[in-house]
């Protein structure tokens, strides 16, 4: 194994030159090819802070601003449980790949944020408004950029389908509290917290199984639409299926998700031979950023 590591180190070293491609400062600021749709709305978190939440309708200045305001609270709470991995290159890389995949999601209106969090667990999370996280434990299992794109795409699908937002709307928690004065305090957005409780707790409750199967179907397609190999997400699911489900690192994932084995079966049923005719996607195993 040591040899492999040193070869890897060489490869990584050799990549320094080419990895300038990831130095976003060097990337040309090209104009977007698609004109912005007229339905798009600004989704700046800062503007979200000034609006109050109407419990039943979750109305704000705009629905998007309200969605972002909720997601921001959930994200801040999750980061309180597990901070970001201290690796700027990693975080920029994940944001770059993630944003490109998110451009295929129909939610170009959002300002997307992606983060790798400090945990050896194997898991990933999404919060409304474009906040997406994966654990270091999951990231370290990935072999190429197509697999990363697949994992991020599953979470992007949750956001684009508003799975968590719908859950909150259905939840009894919404409506129990009247309008709150909106103030950003040290603990975050008190009005949102009053409505949804601890945002991270929502992530511990999870979604229903159908939402997860749906996010697998949509996620595989989003990644393929971004030009990646469509088998990234299926391969990650197979990898997880190969791990004993009793493994501690999967405990929270399996509390909130169907088993990887069931997800493989459902996704397989949906895919069938439909990916046979797709153009060959990219995997980028060489440039895939590996955590030291």
Partner 1 sequence: MKRLCGILALSLASGLAMAAPGVALKDESVLSKPVAGSAAVGKLNKGMAVDIVAKQGGWLQVKAGGKQGWVRLLSVRAGAGGTGGNGLAGVAGVAGAVTQKSDSSRVVAVAGVRGLNEEDLKGAKFDAAELARLEGYTVSASQAQAFADKSGLKAVKIKALPKPESAAAGETP
Residues 146 to 205: which contact partner 1 by CB under 8 A?
147, 186-188, 193, 198, 200-201, 203-204
CA distance 132 to 128: 9
d(CA 243, CA 264): 13
Q: Judged by CB under 8 A, which stretch of 47-55, 57-65, 100-108, 171-179 contacts partner 1?
A: 100-108
Of positions 15, 51, 62, 91, contacts partner 1 by CB under 8 A: 91
Q: How far is the CB of 142 from partner 1 (least distance, A)?
A: 9
Q: Does 47 interact with partner 1 (rule: CB under 8 A)?
A: no
37 sits near partner 1 (criterion: CB under 8 A): no
Query: C-alpha distances in angstroms, 165 versus 83, 118, 171?
Result: 23, 25, 10
Q: Which one, 11 or 270, has the nearer CB to partner 1?
A: 270
Cα–Cα distance measured from residue 255 to residue 7, given in angstroms and rounded to the nearest whole number: 38
Looking only at residues 222 through 251 of this chain, which bind partner 1 when binding is defined by CB under 8 A? 224-231, 234-235, 238-239, 241-251
51 three-class SS = coil
Sole binder of partner 1 in the list 84, 162, 171, 173 (CB under 8 A)? 84
Q: Is there binding between residue 282 and partner 1 (CB under 8 A)?
A: yes
Beta strands at 188-189 and 184-185: parallel, antiparallel or unpaired: antiparallel
Q: Which C-beta is closer to partner 1: that of 56 or that of 183? A: 183
The answer to the question of residue 262 lying near partner 1 (CB under 8 A) is yes
Element of type H or E holding 48:
helix 45-48
- Rule CB under 8 A: is residue 29 a binding residue for partner 1? yes
Is 42 a residue that touches partner 1 (CB under 8 A)? Answer: no
**Rounded-to-integer distance, Cα 8 and Cα 286, Å:** 10
Answer left, alpha or beta for residue 153, where phi above 0 means left and psi between -120 and 50 means alpha: alpha
What strands, in cross-sheet order, belong to the sheet with 113-117? Answer: 113-117, 131-135, 124-127
If you count them, how many residues does the chain have?
292
Q: Which is nearer to partner 1, 44 or 57 (CB)?
A: 44
Residues from 107 through 146 that contact partner 1 (CB under 8 A): 108, 111-115, 119-121, 123, 131, 135, 141, 143-144
Does 98 contact partner 1 by CB under 8 A? yes
Residue 31 binds partner 1 (CB under 8 A): yes
Q: Are 75 and 127 in contact (CB under 8 A)?
A: yes
Cβ of residue 173: shortest distance to partner 1, in angstroms?
A: 14
Q: Which is nearer to partner 1, 65 or 221 (CB)?
A: 221
CB of 55 to partner 1, least distance (A): 20
Report residue 260 CA to chain centroid gap: 18
Nearest CB to partner 1, comparing residues 66 and 121: 121
Considering beta carbons, is residue 191 or 226 the nearer one to partner 1? 226
Query: Rounded distance, CA 178 to CA 99, Å?
Result: 36
Which of these, 154, 161, 167, 159, lies nearest to 240 by C-alpha position? 154
């Amino acid at each position: 194994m040591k040899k492999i590591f040193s070869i890897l180190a060489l490869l990584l070293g050799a990549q320094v030159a080419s990895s300038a491609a990831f130095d976003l400062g060097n990337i040309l600021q090209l104009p977007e090819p698609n004109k912005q749709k007229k339905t798009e709305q600004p989704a700046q978190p800062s503007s979200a802070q000034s609006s109050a939440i109407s419990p039943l309708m979750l109305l704000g200045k705009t629905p998007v601003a309200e969605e972002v305001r909720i997601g921001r609270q959930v994200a801040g709470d999750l980061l309180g449980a597990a901070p970001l991995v201290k690796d700027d290159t990693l975080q920029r890389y994940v944001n770059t790949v993630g944003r490109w995949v998110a451009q295929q999601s129909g939610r170009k209106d959002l300002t997307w944020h992606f983060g790798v969090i400090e945990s050896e667990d194997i898991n990933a999370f999404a919060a409304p408004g474009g906040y997406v996280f994966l654990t270091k434990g999951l990231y370290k299992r990935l072999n190429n950029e197509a697999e990363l794109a697949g994992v991020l795409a599953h979470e992007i699908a949750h956001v684009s389908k508003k799975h968590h937002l719908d859950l909150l709307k259905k939840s009894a928690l919404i409506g129990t509290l009247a309008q709150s004065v909106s103030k950003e305090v040290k603990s975050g957005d008190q009005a949102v917290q009053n409505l949804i409780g601890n945002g991270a707790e929502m992530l511990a409750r999870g979604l229903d199984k159908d939402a997860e199967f749906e996010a697998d179907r949509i996620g595989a397609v989003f990644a393929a639409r971004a030009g990646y190999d469509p088998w990234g997400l299926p391969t990650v699911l197979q990898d997880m299926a190969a791990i004993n489900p009793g493994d501690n690192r999967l405990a929270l994932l399996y509390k909130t998700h169907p088993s990887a084995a069931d997800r493989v079966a459902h996704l397989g049923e949906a895919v069938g031979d439909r990916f046979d005719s797709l153009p060959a996607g990219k995997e980028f195993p060489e440039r895939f950023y590996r955590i030291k």
